Each structure stands twice: as C-alpha cells, then as structure tokens.
Amino acid sequence: MNESKDFLRTIVEEDLASGKFQEVHTRFPPEPNGFPHIGHAKSIVINFGIARDYHGRCNLRMDDTNPITEDTRYVEALKDAVHWLGFEWDDGIRHTSDYFPRLYDYAVQLIKMGKAYVDSLNEEEIREYRGTVTEPGRRSKYAQRSVEENLDLFERMKNGEFKEGEHVLRAKIDMGAANMQLRDPLLYRIRHVHHHRTGDTWSIYPMYDFAHCLSDYIEGITHSFCTLEFENNRAIYDWVLDTLELEPPRPYQYEFARLAITYTVMSKRKLLELVNEGKVNGWDDPRMPTIAGYRRRGYTKESILNFCDQIGIAKANSTVDVAQLEFAIRDDLNTKVPRVMCVLDPLKVTIENYEGSEEIDASYYPHDVPKEASRKLPFSKEIYIERDDFDENPPKGYFRLTPEQPVRLKHAYIITCKEVVKDADGNVVEIKAEYHPDSKSGQDTSGIKVKSAIHWVDAKGAKKAEVRLYDRLFKEEAPKGMEDLNPDSLKVIEHALVEPAVITERPDERFQFERQGYFYADPVDYSDEHPVFNKIVALKDSWSK
C-alpha cells in the first residue's frame, strides 16, 4: 500500500468524503492482443491497489473491440499476471464484446437524438475534412441525412450489407473544435471479420471512444484511470455519457503518466515483433519486459510491487531508469535468498599437501539476513576456482590469487600458489597449490594476511549446471527498434559447476551465487539431472557501454 498519497488516491478520497460515490469501483481494461508488460503492471497496481485500499472493487475487462489481433492465449496471460501480482477481480471476467448489443442500442439512441450520423466519405476524405490544428474542419454533406435514413443505414451496416469502409457512424459534435478529437469522432466502423467470442454476429465494431466510456458506465465504474495520451479523449468520454442522459451515477476519466523504462521497448506491437522475428524465445523470454518474462527471469512479485510503489504515479510522462527496477529486485533478494557457490569458468586447483576429504559447515545466510540454515561443503585435494580469480601477471590492485599472493577460499582455507601448469599454447590449465591447515575460516590462527576470499567448488562434489547469463535486451538507452538490440543479451554457460547442496537440498528457487549475482532455477527447463539457472540481476549496477 502506498504510504504517501498520490493524486489519484486524493481524488478518490475526496469523492468518497463528499458522497459523490459510496464505493470506489475501478477496472483494468487491457486489449488482449499481447502479453502484459511492466507498464500494465503499473496499471494493475493502480486500479486493483486503489480498489483494495478503499474497500472497493476492481473489474478485469478484456477490451476486445478489435477482433483481428486478439487471442485467448493473451487472455490467459492477463489473468495470470493479475493473480501473480496478488489481486483478484470482482465477479468474473468482463468483455467489452458482451456489451455489443447494448452499445448498439446506445448508438441508435444517439441517432434518434440527432447526435450521430452515418457518414459515407472514404477514409482519406474523412482525414482531409477533419482540418488541422490551425484550421477548422468542415462537416461532410452526409451529416444532413435524416434520422430515418441514418437508422436504416446503420441497421444495414450491422446486417453486413456494405463493404468495409463504405460507411461509418460518427458523433455529431463540432467540426471546429480546438480539441481535434471532438471533430465528429468515429463511433462505429464496418469490419467483416470473425471475433473470437462473438463469431460472425457483428459486421460493425465500436471504436474505443464509444465503447470505453459506456462499458465503464455499464459496469458501474466510478473512476476510470487511463494513460495520458487519452487526455484529449476525455471530452468525448464526457460527451457520450452526458449526451445520452444516462441514469446516474456515471464514471469519470482521470489520466496518469505512462511508464517507460530505459533500455526497454514497451509497446505490444514491438514486443510482438521481437517474438515473431525470433529475436527472443517467446513472450516469457527472461529478457522481455513482460510480466511473464520477469517471472521466468526470477523477479519476485514483491520486487515488482515495490518498484511500482517507488516510481509513484505522476501527471507527466518521464522515463524511469532501468537501474531502479534492478535495484528493486536486488533489494528484495538481498534479505531473502541463500548464498551459495557456483564457478562459471572453472580452473582446476590441486592442493598438493591436502589428503582425504572433509565437509565444511557453512551458513547459507550472512549475518544481516534474519534466517538460519547451513549446508555441508565438500572439500578435498582437487577444487575449481573461477579462471579470472587467478592472474599470473596481475595488474596493480589485483587482490585475488597470484604466484605471490595467497587468497582465502570462502568458508575454507587460505591457499598459496606453488606452480602454474600450462598447455602447449601457454594457457593456464591448472594451479598446484598448498593450503594452510591452521587458516580455516572461523578458526584462523595462521597470521597470513589475504586481500580477498574467492568462491570455489570441490571437484568431486560439484554438480554440472547450465547458467544463462541475461543482460539488457537493448544496447541503447532509448531503443528505436530491432537495430538497437544488444547482441550480448544472452550468454549460455553450458558447464558451470555448482556446489551440491544447491541441487540436493534446494533450499530455495533463488540464490545468490557468491560474487556473481542473483540466480533463479528456470521454472521450465530445470531438472535435477540438467539444472538450469537464469541470472536475475548482477550484485551491483555494473552496466557499461
């Protein structure tokens, strides 16, 4: 729940206090033409969140007025998203298409009132007649049609007697209005297409400006929250509801800023393009800004909710730094998940003075995480460390293992490099080392000073895992399109080595791989035989171009 009140909540509170409405009733009205993205999450959190905060109700409405692009798969994805974020809609899913008969009746009513007419200009003429910002439009000669003629034509439009584009129904408002949206907006157009719910019943489909306000009214919505680009449409919203002289109460529209995030595209059209062109592996690809994508990546619902809370609700559009979203997930996981060790690029270390084996008890959680549990780390003569945790010719300030500099193995002993083994090409293939028996973590009496502790795994105990390193999908801060894709947004490590407890105990689905970042057992491809981990986010903001 929002601690500091936003302007939408202020409006709702005032309306409840004044008695304008007894109960707040909102709706989330997606068009089922794609998977919901993080922008929809913001809208879900606003609409369902306000209803929850003020003990009202929120509807989930499929805004299915455009038959061509819709698919029941998207409907399922929308339901999943709302549920996953922790919300429940009021009394069944609504569909704008359920109101088609009533919307038709309202249109007939407007015609009878002389407030709507069938226009027979073609698309181009309609555009031309509309005028420009500086020039008023002019009305089509067809606006003079009689009520009887309009009623007859509109009914025949409905019955499928005309071709697409032959006629449209328009509101008769004001062709000279400064707000161009009011220049006799279109209410209905002819579409001879199959609708996924109403089939071939309709040959005409209502436009957003007509369907939305009336669907809100029919459902008893009190506050209709939408994004800023609909600001100029509010006048039509009001005009339709007022002109029809509907029984009160009627809903009111309020606009808030649309969410945009750096390094991300957000329109469903562009997301669909990414999917269709195979730039990503489907709508739930962990690089996608879809709710399904974030989920698969390993984002928690809390992190998304916190993010929505932190960005707040504004009246002016702006772009949120993606680092803020990354901060939200890091911040959430930091206090929750076990710390374990995984080596992505293994370099073998043979500890020549170690014989036998042991199991080291190691806590899963650091001191500042309010959880307690530990696992056994197998340790023996052969271990693997990260290849770049050894450097034969280290740069200044290199704190890890070198021929001269010992290092601590996290939770275990300090080791010293004794010999560097190379292949014929001069690549380092193995380190021969010595461990210091009196340097065990927690009981170190060796007096040896080390500058860092590195992660490692035991050669015999470690399990193989596939690790998918995800990075930002786009390399540009404000990506224009496919040309700005980051070619390195996915790197697959086939043979990473992970400590065994991660697989055998599975203390969690999400982990911090020490020094690497936060990872998530992929919910689709993971199995104990073939473990797969997705990188959720790095430990620190490490993005550099």
49's contact among Mg ion, ligand ATP, none, with CB below 5 to 8 A by partner kind, is: none
Name the burial class of residue 279, with classes exposed (0-12), middle (13-18) and buried (19+) by CB atoms within 10 angstroms of its CB: middle
Stretch that binds ligand ATP, among 34-42, 91-99, 111-119, 358-366 (CB under 6 A): 34-42
Tell me the residue nearest to ligand ATP as measured from the CB: 39
Distance, in Å, from the CA atom of 469 to the CA atom of 207, rounded to the nearest integer, reads 44
β-partners of residue 195 are 199
- In whole angstroms, how close is the CB of 304 to ligand ATP at the nearest point? 13
Distance, in Å, from the CA atom of 260 to the CA atom of 235, rounded to the nearest integer, reads 26
- In whole angstroms, how close is the CB of 127 to ligand ATP at the nearest point? 22
Pairing of strands 407-409, 374-380: unpaired
42 part of the interface to ligand ATP, by CB under 6 A = yes
Stretch that binds ligand ATP, among 28-36, 240-248, 424-432, 522-530 (CB under 6 A): 28-36
Binding-site positions for ATP read 31-33, 37-43, 227, 258-259, 266-268
Stretch that binds ligand ATP, among 38-46, 152-160, 382-390, 529-537 (CB under 6 A): 38-46
268 part of the interface to ligand ATP, by CB under 6 A = yes
Q: Is 258 a catalytic residue?
A: yes
Tell me the residue nearest to Mg ion as measured from the CB: 31
Residue of 419, 353, 422, 347 lying closest to 390 (CA atoms): 347
- In whole angstroms, how close is the CB of 31 to Mg ion at the nearest point? 5
β-partners of residue 359 are 378
Sorted by sequence, the CB contacts under 8 Å of residue 367 that are 6+ apart come out as none
Q: Is 127 a catalytic residue?
A: no
Distance, in Å, from the CA atom of 398 to the CA atom of 421, rounded to the nearest integer, reads 21
Size of the site for ligand ATP (CB under 6 A): 15
310's contact among Mg ion, ligand ATP, none, with CB below 5 to 8 A by partner kind, is: none
- In whole angstroms, how close is the CB of 42 to ligand ATP at the nearest point? 4
39 part of the interface to ligand ATP, by CB under 6 A = yes
DSSP state of 6: P
29's contact among ligand ATP, Mg ion, none, with CB below 5 to 8 A by partner kind, is: ligand ATP
How is residue 227 written in tokens?
């994004």
∠ CA 382-383-386, nearest 5°, is 145
Q: Is 359 a catalytic residue?
A: no
- In whole angstroms, how close is the CB of 416 to ligand ATP at the nearest point? 56
Site string for Mg ion, 26-55 (x = CB under 5 A): -----x------------------------
Q: How many CA atoms lie within 13 A of 320 on its CB side?
A: 24
Contact pick of 6, 21, 43, 210 for ligand ATP (by CB under 6 A) = 43
β-partners of residue 138 are none
- SS3 assignment, position 223: strand
57 part of the interface to ligand ATP, by CB under 6 A = no
Distance, in Å, from the CA atom of 256 to the CA atom of 225, rounded to the nearest integer, reads 7
Q: Which residue, 13 or 31, has its beta carbon nearer to Mg ion?
A: 31
- In whole angstroms, how close is the CB of 267 to ligand ATP at the nearest point? 4
Q: Which residue, 49 or 137, has its beta carbon nearer to ligand ATP?
A: 49
Q: Which residue, 43 or 534, has its beta carbon nearer to ligand ATP?
A: 43
Please give the distance of CA 235 from its chain centroid, rounded to a whole number.
31
Looking at 78-206, which runs of residues are DSSP E strands?
94-95, 116-119, 168-171, 186-190, 204-206
Q: Which residue, 43 or 416, has its beta carbon nearer to ligand ATP?
A: 43
SS (H, E, C) 447-515: CCCCCCEECEEECCCCEEEEEEEECCCECCCCCCCHHHECCCCEEEEEEEEECCHHHHCCCCCEEEECC
Q: Which residue, 218 or 266, has its beta carbon nearer to ligand ATP?
A: 266
- In whole angstroms, how close is the CB of 422 to Mg ion at the nearest point? 58
Q: Which residue, 319 or 334, has its beta carbon nearer to ligand ATP?
A: 319
Contact pick of 12, 26, 29, 284 for ligand ATP (by CB under 6 A) = 29
Longest dimension (CA), the chain: 102
What burial letters (b/e) apply to 377-407, b meaning 16+ CB within 10 Å? bbbebebbbbeebbeeeeeeeeebbbeebbb
- In whole angstroms, how close is the CB of 227 to ligand ATP at the nearest point? 4
227's contact among ligand ATP, Mg ion, none, with CB below 5 to 8 A by partner kind, is: ligand ATP
Contact pick of 25, 30, 70, 364 for ligand ATP (by CB under 6 A) = 30
Site string for ligand ATP, 241-260 (x = CB under 6 A): -----------------xx-
Looking at 106-265, which runs of residues are DSSP E strands?
116-119, 168-171, 186-190, 204-206, 223-227, 252-256, 259-261
The answer to whether residues 52 and 305 touch, using CB atoms and an 8 Å cutoff, is: no
- Tell whether omega for the bond before 185 is within 30 degrees of 0, i.e. cis: no
234 part of the interface to ligand ATP, by CB under 6 A = no
For residue 431, give the amino acid letter.
I
The answer to whether residues 443 and 462 touch, using CB atoms and an 8 Å cutoff, is: no
Binding-site positions read 31-33, 37-43, 63, 208, 227, 258-259, 266-268
Q: Which of 31, 231, 302, 430 is catalytic?
A: 31
β-partners of residue 532 are 466
Q: Which residue, 39 or 49, has its beta carbon nearer to ligand ATP?
A: 39
Q: Which of 27, 57, 170, 268 is catalytic?
A: 268
The answer to whether residues 51 and 23 touch, using CB atoms and an 8 Å cutoff, is: no
Give the residues lining the site for ligand ATP (CB under 6 A). 29-31, 39-40, 42-43, 63, 226-227, 258-259, 266-268
Enzyme catalytic residues: 31, 258, 268
Give the residues lining the site for Mg ion (CB under 5 A). 31
